[in-house]
Amino acid sequence: MKPTVLKTVDLTVSFGGLKALNGLDFELFEGQFLGLIGPNGSGKTTFFNALTGIYRPASGNVFLHGKEITGASPNKVYDYGITRTFQRLRLATSLSVLDNLIIGNQRNLNFGLWRNIFDRKYFKAELKKQTERAENLLSRFSRDLAALLFKPVASLSMIDRRRVEVCRALISDPKILLLDEPSAGMTPDETRALIDELQDWRAQHPSLGIILIEHEMELINKVSDTCVVLNYGEKIAEGRYADVSNKPSVRAAYLGED
Amino acid sequence: MRDIKTKLVILLGVVLSIVVLYGFLYLEHEWEIGLLLVALPVAILVLKRTNMLSDYQQAARAMPKLTLSSFIVGVLVLIILLRDEHFALLMLTTVMLYVTVSLGLTIQFGFAGLVNFAAIAFFGIGAYSMAVLNHHFNALPDLLIILFSGLASAFLGALLILPILRTRGHYAALITIAFGILLRTFLEVNDVFGGPQGLKVDGLEILGWNFSNSFPSLLGGGSFYMAYAITALLLAAVAYLFTRLIEASWFGLNMDSVRLDEVASASFGINAPRWKITAFMLGNFFAGLAGAIYAAMSGFIAPASFNFADSLLLVSIVLLGGIGNAVAVIPAALLIVVLPEKFQVIQEYRLLLFGIVVILILRFRPSGLMPRGLRQYFPGSST
């Protein structure tokens, strides 16, 4: 049995009277690829936002490696090694790909006034290090991506933007990667390409835990070790996709069957 | 070989700009300036069509240090050429002080995304600090007093940090507007600061050289404005260099990130308040320094010299030039400061015309006359 990395106990997030997440118990093992599914408005993205400190949970606890991190700020969560992508891309589109990746690698940047502004020799060396790291990551993640390093993100195609956003989340060597519907706005072929690349990455980094929010069931079936199904902020099923997808409650939530 | 060509292109560009600048400042008749204003866009269009403009831009990007130092030398020559022209020198100095303030706004607004409609208030704090400190602490060296005036502006501006961090967009802008009005009223009702009548300010005296006397005849003589013009040039050059270095470092990168997407920035460990505070204080520091020199130069300041309209003028310099582009504020400041002085018509309807200019710019060229390019950390680092 692999050790638990992330665990939530009775996690609740409410907006006014609405409980967007209601008493969620959740567990992620080291290196697990977990699919998070559920109809629109079932609380999937809310769960990510509660984990990453964008929303503050009303009650319940979050543990990372057994240490409580409930209500930690986004900055802290990043320091703990949890990074994410967003459903609607949140890249800095007017900046270059390199700039975006360096933003993702905050942890390893030096912010001394002297080292940034006055000791330009030092800064040049640091920039070189960061550029090499970014280039290396891009070329390992996807063929041809490294050629876009100095292009503005605004000039990239949708799939390349998605790739850059995933790379921005990977560059700091996180322990847990949260992917919020990476297929949104992409063709099935593009989605397949991205998922293949993710699986390759995972094969090379076996300890990285991934939680994937996705509407494409085929994708979930293909890549996830296990699934969690949410509906109205509650967990209604959990297990291998093949088992979960046949559950009457899950079918009812998705298709509205009685 | 390519090096020599690059250097020649830069020198040519600098000489050409200085010649145009000389004409712009020296010519007095409205028809002369009008001719220049018609000829200039045509010339720029021709340079653009023949790719000479992009050659120059590439050259300047490849050798930024040479470009900056040639421009400094060029403006020094210009100051010497204009040595007996009080009014032209006054305009040139005002332009350079406004460039300094606009560079501060570039850091605040262009990098960190903080709208500041109180630029002239921070300029005013610098000016009043200069007046008060120079009067009461005569023993202190004036360079130190200029520095203190900048710091006074930055730290009084710190009062606004909390409300600005807690608001966004229009609301943050409203806070700065309110601050500008409050400051003016405060100065008007306080007798310590001379009330509405204002204060007399002693001229600068650096290393025993009193700036308010005419330029030493040993150095060729000339208007007393020469010394202030040179000081303002040095200040603007340092502010420009510093702004550029900020942009080409992790500081500028993080400020850009905070401006473009605060949520994403937070998710990657960027402490947004830290960068907003840095940008805000730094920008106000620039404004304070410029204000101190302005006060010493004009010899007299009053609350009425620091109008809300002037803050708008400064914001429109940044908008007209190109938000976040440090070079762009220079031609924009020139146009906005000098044109009204040359055309009486514009002087009267100044604000109306600038309002129209800002609307046209926002409608047809929202990134300004010279849009900001991709970040270049070092010459040639992004290839």
- Please state the rounded mean pLDDT for residues B127-131: 95
Determine, for residues B267 and A127 on separate chains, whether the beta-carbon distance falls below 8 Å.
Answer: no
In a domain, B65, yes or no: yes
Determine, for residues B266 and A99 on separate chains, whether the beta-carbon distance falls below 8 Å.
Answer: no
CA–CA distances in Å: residue B103 to residues A71, B222, B290: 39, 29, 11
In a domain, B126, yes or no: yes
Give the Cα separation of B290 and B94 in Å (integer).
9
In a domain, B370, yes or no: no
Determine, for residues A75 and B269 on separate chains, whether the beta-carbon distance falls below 8 Å.
Answer: yes
Token couple for B181: 């009005």
In a domain, B382, yes or no: no
pLDDT-based confidence at residue A242 (cuts at 50, 70, 90): confident
Nearest CB to B270 within list A106, A150, A172: A106
> What per-residue confidence (pLDDT) applies to B175?
94
Beta strands B300-301 and B199-200 are antiparallel
Q: Are residues B151 and B266 both part of a single domain?
A: yes
Q: Are residues B142 and B3 both part of a single domain?
A: no
Q: Are residues B137 and B218 both part of a single domain?
A: yes
A residues 98-117 closer than 8 Å to B (CB)? 98-99, 102-104, 106-107, 109-111, 116-117
In a 3-state reduction of DSSP, which class is residue B204? coil
**In chain B, what is the straight-line distance between the N-terminal and C-terminal CA atoms, in Å?**
21
Determine, for residues B374 and A78 on separate chains, whether the beta-carbon distance falls below 8 Å.
Answer: no
Per the rule left: phi > 0, alpha: psi between -120 and 50, beta: everything else, B210 is beta
| CB-count exposure of residue A152 (10 Å: 0-12, 13-18, 19+) | middle
- The last residue of one of the domains, among B26, B56, B81, is B81
As a whole number, the mean pLDDT across chain A is: 92
Nearest CB to A96 within list B249, B254, B382: B382
Token couple for A211: 């939680």
Q: Please list, in sequence order, all residues whose beta carbon lies within 8 angstroms of the beta carbon of residue B89, skipping any fewer than 6 positions away.
A: B79, B82, B83, B223, B225, B226, B228, B229
- In A, minimum Cα distance to B273 occurs at A75
Instruction: Report how many Cβ contacts below 8 Å link chain A to chain B.
Output: 93
> What per-residue confidence (pLDDT) applies to B99?
98
Q: Which residues constitute the domain of residue B10?
A: 1-81
CA–CA distances in Å: residue B113 to residues B116, B220, B287: 9, 46, 17
Determine, for residues A150 and B382 on separate chains, whether the beta-carbon distance falls below 8 Å.
Answer: yes
- What DSSP assignment string belongs to chain A? -PPEEEEEEEEEEEETTEEEEEEEEEEEETT-EEEEE-STTSSHHHHHHHHTTSS--SEEEEEETTEE-TT--HHHHHHTTEEE--SS----TTSBHHHHHHHHTGGG----HIIIII-HHHHHHHHHHHHHHHHHHHHHHSTTGGGGTTSBGGGS-HHHHHHHHHHHHHTT--SEEEEE-TTTTS-HHHHHHHHHHHHHHHHH-TT-EEEEE-S-HHHHHHH-SEEEEEETTEEEEEE-HHHHTT-HHHHHHHH---
pLDDT-based confidence at residue B59 (cuts at 50, 70, 90): very high
Lowest mean pLDDT among A146-160, B4-18, B347-361: B347-361
> What per-residue confidence (pLDDT) applies to B140?
85
Residues of chain B contacting A73 with CB distance shorter than 8 Å: 266
> What per-residue confidence (pLDDT) applies to B167?
87
- The last residue of one of the domains, among B59, B81, B103, is B81
> What per-residue confidence (pLDDT) applies to A257?
58
- In B, minimum Cα distance to A88 occurs at B264
The C-alpha of B244 sits at a distance from chain A's nearest C-alpha, in angstroms, of 9
Q: Are residues B110 and B16 both part of a single domain?
A: no
Determine, for residues A103 and B254 on separate chains, whether the beta-carbon distance falls below 8 Å.
Answer: yes
In a 3-state reduction of DSSP, which class is residue B215? strand
Is residue A1 within 8 A of residue A211, CB to CB? The reply is: no
Q: Are residues B69 and B98 both part of a single domain?
A: no
The sign of the torsion formed by the CA atoms of B134, B139, B142, B148 equals negative
ipTM of the prediction: 0.94
Residues of chain A contacting B378 with CB distance shorter than 8 Å: 120, 124, 127
The total of structural domains in chain B comes to 2
In a 3-state reduction of DSSP, which class is residue B186? helix
In a domain, B383, yes or no: no
Q: Are residues B4 and B123 both part of a single domain?
A: no
Is the pLDDT at A12 greater than 70? The verdict is yes
**pLDDT tens track for A210-236:** 999 988 888 888 888 999 999 999 999
CA–CA distances in Å: residue B302 to residues A253, B127, B152, B190, B380: 71, 10, 18, 12, 48
Disruptive mutation site among A76, A90, A132 for chain B (greatest number of B CBs within 10 Å): A90
- The last residue of one of the domains, among B52, B81, B110, is B81
- In B, minimum Cα distance to A75 occurs at B269
Token couple for A242: 């093949």
Is the pLDDT at A49 greater than 60? The verdict is yes
Determine, for residues A127 and B269 on separate chains, whether the beta-carbon distance falls below 8 Å.
Answer: no
As a whole number, the mean pLDDT across chain B is: 91
Give the Cα separation of A182 and A192 in Å (integer).
11
Nearest CB to A52 within list B245, B261, B267: B267
| CB-count exposure of residue A204 (10 Å: 0-12, 13-18, 19+) | exposed
Beta strands B209-210 and B205-206 are antiparallel
In a domain, B380, yes or no: no
Is the pLDDT at A69 greater than 70? The verdict is yes
The C-alpha of B115 sits at a distance from chain A's nearest C-alpha, in angstroms, of 19
Q: Are residues B233 and B313 both part of a single domain?
A: yes
Phi and psi dihedrals of A66, rounded to 5? 80, -5
Q: Are residues B30 and B140 both part of a single domain?
A: no
Q: Are residues B338 and B207 both part of a single domain?
A: yes
> What per-residue confidence (pLDDT) applies to B1?
64
Is the pLDDT at B221 greater than 80? The verdict is no
- Please state the rounded mean pLDDT for residues A130-139: 96
Residues of chain B contacting A53 with CB distance shorter than 8 Å: 266
> What per-residue confidence (pLDDT) applies to A206?
92
> What per-residue confidence (pLDDT) applies to B195?
87
> What per-residue confidence (pLDDT) applies to B111?
97
Determine, for residues A92 and B267 on separate chains, whether the beta-carbon distance falls below 8 Å.
Answer: no
Is A84 at the interface with chain B, CB within 8 A? Answer: yes
Phi and psi dihedrals of A127, rounded to 5? -60, -40
Is residue A236 within 8 A of residue A248, CB to CB? The reply is: no
- DSSP class of residue B197? G
Is the pLDDT at B102 greater than 90? The verdict is yes
Token couple for B55: 């050659």
Q: Are residues B22 and B131 both part of a single domain?
A: no
- Please state the rounded mean pLDDT for residues A41-67: 93
pLDDT-based confidence at residue B210 (cuts at 50, 70, 90): confident
Determine, for residues A120 and B381 on separate chains, whether the beta-carbon distance falls below 8 Å.
Answer: no
R_g over Cα of chain A: 19
Q: Are residues B22 and B114 both part of a single domain?
A: no
Disruptive mutation site among A45, A79, A101, A111 for chain B (greatest number of B CBs within 10 Å): A111
Is the pLDDT at B9 greater than 80? The verdict is yes
Q: Are residues B17 and B99 both part of a single domain?
A: no
Nearest CB to A117 within list B245, B254, B383: B245
Phi and psi dihedrals of B83, rounded to 5? -60, -25
Instruction: For residue A124, count other CB atoms closer than 10 A to its CB.
Output: 13
Is A77 at the interface with chain B, CB within 8 A? Answer: yes
pLDDT-based confidence at residue A258 (cuts at 50, 70, 90): low
Is A154 at the interface with chain B, CB within 8 A? Answer: no
Nearest CB to A96 within list B249, B261, B375: B375
Give the Cα separation of B72 and B128 in Å (integer).
29
Is residue B147 within 8 A of residue B311, CB to CB? The reply is: no
The C-alpha of A57 sits at a distance from chain B's nearest C-alpha, in angstroms, of 17
In a domain, B274, yes or no: yes
**In chain A, what is the straight-line distance between the N-terminal and C-terminal CA atoms, in Å?**
38
**pLDDT tens track for B158-172:** 999 999 999 887 898
In a domain, B374, yes or no: no
Beta strands A209-213 and A176-180 are parallel
Is B362 at the interface with chain A, CB within 8 A? Answer: no
Q: Please list, in sequence order, all residues whose beta carbon lies within 8 angstroms of the beta carbon of residue A47, skipping any fewer than 6 positions away.
A: A11, A13, A21, A24, A26, A36, A230
Determine, for residues B268 and A102 on separate chains, whether the beta-carbon distance falls below 8 Å.
Answer: no
